Amino acid sequence: MDYALLIGIFPQVLLDGILLGFMYALIALGYTMVYGVLEFINFAHSEIFIFGAFVGVEILLSLQSAGWLARLPWVVVLILVILAGMLASGLLAVTVERVAYRPLRTAPRLIPLISAIGVSFFLQDVIRLFESMWRNAFNLVYPTMDVMNIRFELTSTLDVSVRSLVVIVAALLMLWSLHVLVNRTKIGTAIRAVAEDQAAASLMGINVNRIISLTFLIGGAMGGAAGVLFGIQYSLINPYTGFIPGLKAFTAAVLGGIGNIPGAMLGGLVLGLLEAFAASYMSLLTGGAFGAEYKDIFAFSVLILILIFRPKGLLGEVVRGRA
Amino acid sequence: MIRAVAAVAAVALSVTLVDLFPRSILVFLAFQLSLLYVYVTRIPAWLRTGLLGVALLVLMPLIGFRNGYYLEVATQVGIFAALALGLNIVVGLAGLLDLGYVAFFAVGAYSWAIVGSPHANLIFGGGFPLAPGWFYVFLFVGLAVAAITGVLLGLPVMRLRGDYLAIVTLGFGEVIRVLANNLDKPINLTNGPKGITPIGRPPLPFGIPYSEGFYFLVLLIVAVVILVNRRLEDSHIGRAWEAMREDELAAQAMGVPLVRAKLLAFACGASFAGVMGVVFSAKQIFINPESFTFLESIGVLAMVILGGMGSIPGAVVGATVVTVLNLQVLKGFSLWLNELKNAGVTVLGYSLADLPTQLEPAKYERMVFGIILVLMMIFRPQGIFPARRRQRELAHTDKVPTAVVP
């Protein structure tokens, strides 16, 4: 076995894992916040995430065709695109909750889940329909901004591109502001109160419906930002791209302890690292018998194992009513 | 009396129409509707059974001679009806939401595909494909393998609550698909994305052509599955499943062995899919992992939901509606749109020829499934043909809210 190679690629794999991890963490926030408040898996979150990516690519493409993309400072473009993605996805999440989940809030718990699966499929094809009509293509490529491709060589085996730094910085900023919002503001207190006990919260004068909408807005916005960052990092998107990352982000949320915001971050990072290492090393360690294609199996096995042996996740928010 | 005459007339008229316009989708839909009418209208049981029997055993194959594609559609409907009935046990009766159901279908399909084609020579060295007669043995092998897979999936997930169970079964379905996609090395078991072909077809008696033969085979299996389902529903274990679906704790307190009941539900549901998988692989001659995606699982789920969870006629009707929507209505719409485009028709001043080429209405299965799932859950969670017990239960949900909504 080529040990020099194994050690040589280590830093790069580590970086890839961290990037992937932040991506999962941002998406996982949407799942975990909604689960924390409603104990409901928002299956359509993967499409809310990819919707952000599509809004981002549409803005970038129109800026490009108007000739503005090269002229505006790249930071302005970046912030504009991320904010637009957040707003669009947040509003979409609120709409979905209003239309497809709220009427089912008192129904047996599998009913809203099935509805969410329906929404997920419906949104995939709505995006496809729209892009087919509008651009006559639904596999879209993010236009490159030249700055993003600049690479800093840290060591002989590791270089970091600006796009990766952007992803990491943006993700850290958002995770931090969400943390402040939930733990240090009045709104955050209300969200936590509703998550704790809806009846008691409403008796304390909290408008539960509004807080639930707000939770979807924030979770959706995080998903939308993740969508734009995903597009910037991996560049190729189509309406069905969101599904697998969504599933893995859910895994990350469960891994960290669903309903628990720091847990989603931790779970995302752990899963991202595991997956990056599995993808790079599995083929090397087994002499090519099992390749990187098995990384999905790896992620799902993590989900199954964690649900069986530690269903409350690494950071252990106790989920009520677990049978 | 009038109803009986109307039922006979409806079937006779629609068959005549199919005979006159063998290429029209609408008249074939009319034929299906006439069968539905025969089923729901109040006529003597012997007449209903007789009419349905004649329609399915005699008229449908005759229609097949006029237009082979309709027989293909009917066969597909049968395959999906069996899948829907299998999933109905797991989701409808036992209340375990299985989102990876198609995995069992895949297991059945691959079990015959590997040994029924020359592919197995790569693994075992020689002597394959098995003689076509083995197909009938493999119907049972497929059943057993799928049932065992069902138990293997069931064992680790027993303790999980409903929504987690759903996600884990989804993951399991994906795992099976990824395995099928990648097990072309180190041992070439599935030939990866290239798929396996040619898969052997069974010998048929009396020189029946294959398309008719598969139709009758599928019909026979569906009949058996329906019979098993009906017997199960009111059996000891069927009652246990329904008790478990309503309230696990209460069921356990009443002496329902939860582990055994859940494993049996998974095994029963899976076994139907396994049998149909064997038939499917022989019918298609070629299979690859693309036939066993998450989309298929959700399609089968949509059939069960549309018809009504826990309802046997519901599952059959759901399977028919969804399959016909996908195979005929969407495709028909696609063709029709293309014809209009080529003819240069304009609608409200907009020339249809300007429609984007990427717009292919036939590809929007997901939208169909999505709309079905959401609308059914919001407006009619008990389905079109609700199971009697389920209907009563869902009628009362608004009186026992589980969460306080101000």
Nearest CA among B309, B284, B280, B285 for reference residue B385: B309
Per-residue confidence (pLDDT) for residue B393, from 0 to 100:
59
Spatial CA neighbour of B61 closest among B270, B238, B214, B205: B214
Q: How far is A299 from chain B (nearest CA, A)?
A: 9
Q: Is the pLDDT of residue B156 over 90?
A: no
Rounded Cα–Cα distance for residues A281 and A113 (Å): 36
CB contact (8 A) between residue B174 and residue A104: no
What is the count of residue pairs from A and B with beta carbons less than 8 Å apart?
Answer: 164
Q: pLDDT for B58-75, tens place per residue? A: 888 888 887 888 899 999
What confidence score (pLDDT) does residue B394 get? 57
**Is B403's CB within 8 Å of A123's CB?**
no
Please give the share of chain B, as a percent, with pLDDT higher than 70.
Answer: 95
User: Are β-strands A236-237 and A140-141 bridged in parallel, bridged antiparallel, or unpaired?
Assistant: antiparallel
What is the reported pLDDT for A155? 74
Token pair of A76, please?
A: 């302005």
Q: Does the beta carbon of A323 lie under 8 angstroms from any beta carbon of chain B?
A: yes
Nearest to A248 by CA among A298, A322, A292: A298
Number of alpha helices (DSSP H) and beta strands (DSSP E) in chain B: 18, 2
Give the model confidence (pLDDT) of A150-163 as tens digits.
888 777 777 888 88
pLDDT top residue among A85 and B70: A85
Q: Residue B392: its pLDDT value, please? A: 61
Q: Is the pLDDT of residue B76 over 60?
A: yes
pLDDT digit string (tens) for A168-222?
A: 898 899 888 998 998 899 999 999 999 888 899 999 999 999 999 999 999 999 9
The pLDDT-based confidence of A36 (bands split at 50, 70, 90) is confident
3-state secondary structure A75-135: HHHHHHHHHHHHHHHHHHHHHHHHHHHHHHCCCCCHHHHHHHHHHHHHHHHHHHHHHHHHH
Q: Could you tell me which residues come within 8 angstroms of residue B284 by beta carbon, excluding any fewer than 6 positions away?
A: B199, B291
A65 in reach of chain B (CB within 8 A): no
CA A92 to chain B, closest CA, distance in angstroms equals 16
Residue A220: what pLDDT?
95
3-state secondary structure of A236: strand
* C-alpha B284: how far from chain center: 16
Please name the residues between 74 and 113 in chain A that touch chain B, using a CB distance below 8 Å. Answer: 100, 103-113
Mean pLDDT, residues A7-34: 89
pLDDT of residue B132: 81
Tell me the one-letter amino acid at B272. F
Tell me, yes or no, if A196 comes closer than 8 A to chain B by beta carbon: no
Residue B406 reports pLDDT greater than 60:
no
Closest CB from A120, A132, A243 relative to B359: A132
User: How confident is the model over B260-288, as a mean pLDDT?
Assistant: 92
Q: Do B374 and A311 touch (CB under 8 A)?
A: no
Count of CB atoms situated within 10 Å of the CB of B396: 8
Q: Which residues are CB-neighbours of B90 under 8 A, at least 6 positions away?
A: B96, B98, B101, B265, B266, B268, B269
**Amino acid code (one letter) for A41:** I
- Which residue, among A55, A93, A112, A87, has the nearest Cα to A231 in the 3D structure? A55
Please compute the mean of the pLDDT values over residues A71-82 and round it to a whole number: 89
* Stretch A241-267: mean pLDDT: 89
CB contacts, 8 Å: A250 with chain B: 167
Contact B187, B121 (CB under 8 A): no
Does A126 have pLDDT greater than 90?
yes
Q: To which residue do tokens 């409808």 refer?
A: B92
Find the closest chain A residue to B364 by CA distance. Answer: A125
Helix (H) or strand (E) holding A53: helix A45-65
Q: Closest to B366 (Cβ–Cβ): which among A124, A199, A202?
A: A124
pLDDT at A128 over 80: yes
* B81 three-class SS: helix
CB A163 within 8 A of CB A16: no
Higher pLDDT among residues A260 and B405, named by residue: A260
In terms of DSSP H, where are the helices of B41-133? 45-54, 60-66, 68-87, 102-115, 121-124
pLDDT over 50 at A310, yes or no: yes
From A33-42, A231-240, B178-187, the region with the lowest mean pLDDT: B178-187
Supply the DSSP string of B10-22, one letter for each residue. Answer: HHHHHHHHHHH-T
pLDDT, chain A, mean: 87
User: For B361-400, what is each residue's pLDDT tens digit?
Assistant: 788 888 989 999 999 999 988 888 887 765 565 555 554 4
The first and second tokens of residue A143, run together, are 């236009």
List the single range of A159-173, B10-24, B77-91 with lowest mean pLDDT. B10-24
- Considering just the CA atoms, what is the radius of gyration of chain B in Å? 22
Candidates B378, B402, B381, B399; CA nearest to B390 is B381
Percent of chain B residues topping a pLDDT of 90 = 29
Q: What share of chain B is helix, strand, coil (3-state, %, to 5)?
A: 75, 0, 25
Cross-chain residue pair B298–A117, CB shorter than 8 Å: yes
What pLDDT does residue A320 have?
43
Computed on alpha carbons and rounded to an integer, the radius of gyration of chain A in Å comes to: 20
> What percent of chain A stands above pLDDT 70?
97
- Can you read off the two tokens belonging to residue B243? 């008790």
- Whose tokens are 């049968």? That residue is B78
pLDDT band at B401 (very low <50, low <70, confident <90, very high): very low
* In contact, A311 and A253? CB cutoff 8 Å: no
Residue B142: pLDDT above 60?
Answer: yes
Predicted confidence band at B123 (pLDDT cuts at 50, 70, 90)? confident
Is the pLDDT reported for residue B318 higher than 90? yes
- Residue B296 CB neighbour total at 10 angstroms: 21
- At A132, which amino acid appears? S
pLDDT at B203 over 60: yes
Q: How confident is the model at residue B241 (pLDDT cuts 50, 70, 90)?
A: very high
Q: How far is B231 from chain A (nearest CA, A)?
A: 26
The yes-or-no verdict on residue A48 having pLDDT over 60 is: yes
Checking if the pLDDT of B404 tops 70, the result is: no
What is the pLDDT confidence band of residue A98, given thresholds at 50, 70 and 90? very high
For residue A271, the chain B residues in CB contact (below 8 A) are: none
Give the pLDDT confidence score for residue B391 in this predicted structure.
Answer: 58
Q: Quote the mean pLDDT of chain B.
A: 85
pTM: 0.89
Q: How far is A87 from chain B (nearest CA, A)?
A: 24
Exposure letters A282-316 (e unless 16+ CB within 10 A, then b)? bbeeeeeebebebbbbbbbebbbebbeeebbbbbe
E strands, chain A, in order: 140-141, 151-155, 158-161, 236-237
Q: Output the CA angle B133-B137-B143, nearest 5 degrees.
A: 140
Cβ separation of B185 and A117 shorter than 8 Å?
no
Q: What is the pLDDT of residue B217?
A: 92
Tell me which chain B residues have a C-beta less than 8 angstroms from the C-beta of A117: 99, 298, 301, 373
Name the percent of chain A lying above pLDDT 90: 44
Say what the pLDDT of residue B234 is.
85
